């Protein structure tokens, strides 16, 4: 069995420190991207709610359009509850 020298241990610790730092940067980047995606989804949901209200109360839209808006709004609402607000049924 070979013994690890102090220099080899120092080199390994430097290498693992670099690996950990790389992973921490990667995680920070993913967290930032995740936050941007969440902001975009929330904004889209808000716009879709406004469109839904307009179609429901002021604009005469075909039933297919109204149904599509309502379905999309429901899907986005469920998605946001699960992945953004972490609400579990």
b/e sequence 23-59, b meaning 16+ C-beta within 10 Å: eeeeeeeeeeeeeeeeeeeeeebeebeebeeebeeee
pLDDT tens digits, one per residue of 17-69? 999 999 999 999 999 999 999 999 999 999 999 999 999 888 888 999 999 99
**Domain residues of the chain, as ranges?**
7-83
User: CA angle at residue 38 from 30 to 52, to 5 degrees?
Assistant: 160
Contact between residue 56 and residue 66 where contact means Cβ atoms under 8 Å apart: yes
pTM of the prediction? 0.76
Q: How far apart are CA 22 and CA 36, in angstroms?
A: 21
């Amino acid at each position: 069995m070979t013994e690890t020298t102090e220099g080899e241990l120092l080199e390994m610790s430097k290498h693992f420190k670099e690996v950990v730092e790389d992973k921490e940067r990667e995680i920070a980047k993913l967290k930032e991207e995740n936050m941007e995606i969440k902001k975009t989804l929330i904004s889209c949901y808000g716009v879709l709610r406004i469109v839904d209200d307009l179609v429901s109360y002021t604009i005469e839209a075909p039933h297919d359009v109204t149904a599509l808006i309502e379905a999309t709004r429901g899907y986005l609402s469920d998605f946001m509850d699960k992945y953004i607000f972490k609400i579990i049924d």
